[in-house]
Amino acid sequence: MGSLTDDPDFRATTFVVIDFEATTPAGHPAQPIEVAALALRYEQGDWVEVGRFASLIRPPEFAPGTRFNTLHSGLTSEHLASAPTPAEALGALDRRFTADSRYLLVAQHAATEAGLLYNQREHCPVAARIDLLDTIPLARRMVPGLADYRLDTLLGHYSIPLPADRHRAAADVRVTARVFTRLIEDADREGSVRDLTELVKVAGRTAKVGRPAQGELFTL
């Protein structure tokens, strides 16, 4: 049997690595203040970037940027005051997805991105319906025995330098993409994940919009 990257379904899929930065107001769900996405396809034995997107997002008045946001990411209230609205920023992202392509979103701790997409689904109805892959369970399968599976730990394991702007969405997307592609290389080399269906069983998360009541993991 061939490797994961020989699988026709894998090759037919565009993997969109996505990351949000958010603020979490008391009594409300997290509100996005930045989003970035990086689209990858596996073609002719290598990864090819086929698109990227990044935007600040102006939070609602009840959820202003906080001192924690500034300390964490460097984003200030001044940065966010003139940012696009959620409808503008997420609508622009949504229009990047085409009806004739097959997508999976990829995220580190994908539950966070799945929740933000669900809560913003009126602004990004296409993206909110795309299922996800989570790098954490995939890393647990491919590199067992790490002390934890935080992004910084995985970057250290693969000797990927921390970006200077760590915790900005575009920077985190870039390094998450590098972790994801290294995990796929491991899966190819070891043969432990043989096709897209198995990859989804290991690391898949159904989009909350399309999730059945029991919340079971989708299968292809």
Q: Per-residue pLDDT tens for 94-120?
A: 999 999 999 999 999 999 999 999 999
pTM reported for the whole predicted model: 0.92
Contact criterion met (CB below 8 Å) for 130 and 207: yes
Mean pLDDT of all residues in the chain? Answer: 92
220 vs 197: CA distance, rounded Å: 6
Q: What is the per-residue pLDDT for 219?
A: 35
Q: What is the per-residue pLDDT for 181?
A: 98
Q: What is the per-residue pLDDT for 64?
A: 76
Give the contacts of 67 (CB within 8 A, at least 6 positions apart).
none
Q: What is the per-residue pLDDT for 71?
A: 72
Domains annotated for the chain, with CATH where assigned, are 4-210 (3.30.420.10)
Question: Is the per-residue pLDDT at 68 higher than 80?
Answer: no
Q: What is the mean pLDDT of residues 2-25?
A: 94
177 vs 171: CA distance, rounded Å: 10
Q: What is the per-residue pLDDT for 218?
A: 36
Question: Is the per-residue pLDDT at 2 higher than 70?
Answer: no
Q: What is the per-residue pLDDT for 77?
A: 84
112 vs 186: CA distance, rounded Å: 25
Q: Tell which wins on pLDDT, 220 or 74.
A: 74
Q: What is the mean pLDDT of residues 213-219?
A: 39
Encode burial over 59-94: b for 16+ CB neighbours within 10 A, e otherwise.
beeebbbbeebeeebebeeebbeebeebeebbbebb
Question: Is the per-residue pLDDT at 211 higher than 80?
Answer: no
pLDDT in tens, 124-182: 999 999 999 999 999 999 999 999 999 999 999 999 999 999 999 999 999 999 999 99
